[in-house]
Amino acid sequence: MDKEKEEKENNEIEEAKKEKKQEENKDKPKEDHKENKQEKTQEKPKEEIKETQPKEQIENNNENLEKNENKTMNNNSNTVKVGKTDTKTIVIICLSVFIVICLIVISVQGTTIRAYRKELVNSKRNIVTDVVQIEKYKVKVHINFIPNLLLNKYDVTLSVEGQEKTLKHGVDKDFEFDLEEGEHTLTFTDVEDSSIYTDVKIEVKENMEVGYKISCYDNSISVENLYIDRDVELAENEIKMKNDKYEYTTKNYKDVKEKLQELGFTNIVEKPVYDIVLGWTEEESVDNVTIDGSDDYKRGDVFKKDAEVVITYHLKEEDDPSKNTTSEESNNTSQNQTNNTTKQNETNTKRKYNYYTTNDKDTAPKGDKGKFAYIKKGGSYDNYCVIDYDEGYVYTFAEGNGDYYCDKIKIESGNLNDGLKLSYKDKNNAFIKSIHFKYKEVPHQLVIVDNDYHDYEYSTASLEDALSLMAKKEKKIQ
């Protein structure tokens, strides 16, 4: 009976264990099921062993088995928990990595887009700049302001393209403007009366320097261009003048020749004029310099290196080789000396002035007394101007065109530095606005300004020849 009870109890325990295992296997993973199958395959030998073991030992074994099974179950449960935790972590890490990668891509794309936009904007700006931007050139302007002693001592405003500069009366000044390529207008205006102004046009196509001489009158401003010096590339056989002819006047002809050679001229001719009688003109001083047949050149003009350059300079009349006596005439020494003395006295009586003026080298630059003679040479005829302070008149006439008249105009006021003001009997016949030296206190060049403010330049002429020609003309008082 005891054995049957034990077997019955063992069977009930086994069935309970099986039922419990079945319930647990429902929640276990498939892998755990595989392990359970293996355990099931091993259960049969255990049962057989149990049958042969004592009851107490069987009970102990059952308890140990139960404990082991519980441990296995706990281990399986922990495995499941760890598996679940690892899966979540992996998912979170993957999502984080994905988000980080997306952010990096967006950042890179944003930078690229911004760079592209910037490049596009810059390219558009460059296109606009290329289309709109116009190159500007440096234009340097030199102003030679002739001062007045008493009247019309007003300041002048120089304006160009909205830029304005003020010129103090009688003060020379240099300015610089940035101007676009094309034609521009320089306007000289009386600061006190805007109705008095003069416009001058300049053509800008490279960097350049220009010079002007201005003079103030009652109702006008005289503006004379002195030079236009453009920054251009010269050919190998070309020379650009650095100054005008007035820079050479009155200088020693040897120094002038050296300067012209330094410029590069290769064909220079010396032409002496034996016209110094009383010694007022310095010996070997230059009267005029012509280049390629012209004496109207200015700074910035371009010539060929082999252009003919003629330097005319003064020497003593007594040194004129054409007036030396021949060897045959020198046989009678005393007779020759008498004849030479007589001729010299006659010459001195006939000519009591120095070439173009009755003034000496100290008084001539003042331009306010004595007589002066000037000439403007033309192709078919020449124009003369004789200024006679002694009589108080200016005489103008032409020679070579068949004209037998000489205009006689009264000097009202002024001098040749500040400008002579003339008085006409009939104002309708007035054609000369002013007469003055081209450069202050340099009497070798004269400028006559007409009513339209056009300037005409004259050079010094033989006063003796001018008076001789004028004596043959019929004088008409204007």
Query: Could you tell me if residue 34 is inside a domain?
Result: yes
CB 387 within 8 A of CB 435: yes
CATH number at residue 220: 2.60.40
Q: What is the mean pLDDT of residues 290-307?
A: 89
Higher pLDDT, 453 or 316: 316
Query: Could you tell me if residue 383 is inside a domain?
Result: yes
Query: Could you tell me if residue 140 is inside a domain?
Result: yes
**Residue 238: predicted pLDDT:** 93
- Is the per-residue pLDDT at 83 higher than 70? no
- Residue 252 sits in the same domain as residue 207: no
**Residue 374: predicted pLDDT:** 93
Higher pLDDT, 109 or 337: 109
pTM of the model: 0.46
Q: Decide which of 306, 321, 350 is a domain's last residue.
A: 350
Mean predicted lDDT score pLDDT of the chain: 77
Query: Could you tell me if residue 264 is inside a domain?
Result: yes
**Residue 451: predicted pLDDT:** 76
- Residue 342 sits in the same domain as residue 378: no
- Residue 392 sits in the same domain as residue 473: yes
- Is the per-residue pLDDT at 327 higher than 80? no
Lowest-pLDDT range of 53-67, 92-106, 414-428: 53-67
Query: Could you tell me if residue 16 is inside a domain?
Result: yes
pLDDT band of residue 3 (cuts 50, 70, 90) is low
Lowest-pLDDT range of 14-18, 337-341, 401-405: 337-341
**Residue 70: predicted pLDDT:** 54
Q: Decide which of 183, 200, 230 is a domain's last residue.
A: 230
- Residue 278 sits in the same domain as residue 207: no
- Is the per-residue pLDDT at 20 higher than 80? no
- Residue 374 sits in the same domain as residue 457: yes
H/E element holding 169?
none
CA neighbours within 13 Å on the CB side: how many for 148? 21
**Residue 473: predicted pLDDT:** 87
Q: What is the mean pLDDT of residues 297-318?
A: 90
**Residue 121: predicted pLDDT:** 53
Which contacts of 356-365 are long-range, i.e. CB under 8 A and separated by 24 or more positions?
356/444, 356/460, 356/461, 356/462, 356/463, 357/443, 357/460, 357/463, 358/463, 359/280, 359/443, 360/278, 360/280, 361/280, 361/281, 361/282, 364/280, 364/443, 365/441, 365/442, 365/443
CATH number at residue 274: 3.30.10.20
Q: Decide which of 230, 259, 287 is a domain's last residue.
A: 230
- Residue 221 sits in the same domain as residue 285: no
Query: Could you tell me if residue 442 is inside a domain?
Result: yes
Considering only CA atoms, give the Rg of the chain: 59
Q: What is the mean pLDDT of residues 11-38?
A: 60
Distance, CA of 464 to CA of 218 (rounded, Å): 36
- Is the per-residue pLDDT at 75 higher than 70? no
- Residue 345 sits in the same domain as residue 377: no
**Residue 80: predicted pLDDT:** 43
- Residue 204 sits in the same domain as residue 259: no
Beta carbons within 10 angstroms of residue 119's beta carbon: 10
Distance, CA of 189 to CA of 157 (rounded, Å): 5
Please give the tally of structural domains in the chain. 4
Percent of the chain's residues with pLDDT above 70: 71
- Is the per-residue pLDDT at 56 higher than 70? no
**Residue 291: predicted pLDDT:** 92
Nearest to 30 by CA among 79, 92, 102: 79
**Residue 435: predicted pLDDT:** 92
DSSP SS3 for 137: strand
**Residue 103: predicted pLDDT:** 76
Nearest to 357 by CA among 365, 345, 348, 349: 365
Query: Could you tell me if residue 129 is inside a domain?
Result: no
175-220 per-position pLDDT tens digit:
999 999 999 999 999 999 999 999 999 999 999 999 999 999 888 9
- Residue 282 sits in the same domain as residue 344: yes
357-400 per-position pLDDT tens digit:
998 888 888 999 999 999 988 777 889 999 999 889 999 999 88
Higher pLDDT, 174 or 337: 174
241-279 per-position pLDDT tens digit:
988 877 888 889 999 999 999 999 999 999 998 888 766
96-114 per-position pLDDT tens digit:
888 888 777 776 665 555 6
- Residue 266 sits in the same domain as residue 220: no
115-161 per-position pLDDT tens digit:
555 565 555 555 444 445 678 899 999 999 988 877 888 999 999 99
CATH number at residue 403: 2.40.160
- Residue 391 sits in the same domain as residue 288: no
> Domain range for residue 329?
242-350
Percent of the chain's residues with pLDDT above 90: 31
**Residue 132: predicted pLDDT:** 53
**Residue 221: predicted pLDDT:** 92
- Residue 90 sits in the same domain as residue 175: no
- Is the per-residue pLDDT at 33 higher than 60? no
**Residue 110: predicted pLDDT:** 59
**Residue 211: predicted pLDDT:** 92
| Measured CA distances, 383 to 376, 400, 403 (Å) | 5, 9, 11
Distance, CA of 280 to CA of 370 (rounded, Å): 14
pLDDT band of residue 321 (cuts 50, 70, 90) is confident
- Is the per-residue pLDDT at 330 higher than 60? no
- Is the per-residue pLDDT at 337 higher than 60? no
| Measured CA distances, 338 to 75, 286, 332, 343, 352 (Å) | 160, 33, 10, 9, 21
Query: Could you tell me if residue 109 is inside a domain?
Result: no
- Is the per-residue pLDDT at 27 higher than 60? no
Q: What is the mean pLDDT of residues 63-69?
A: 56
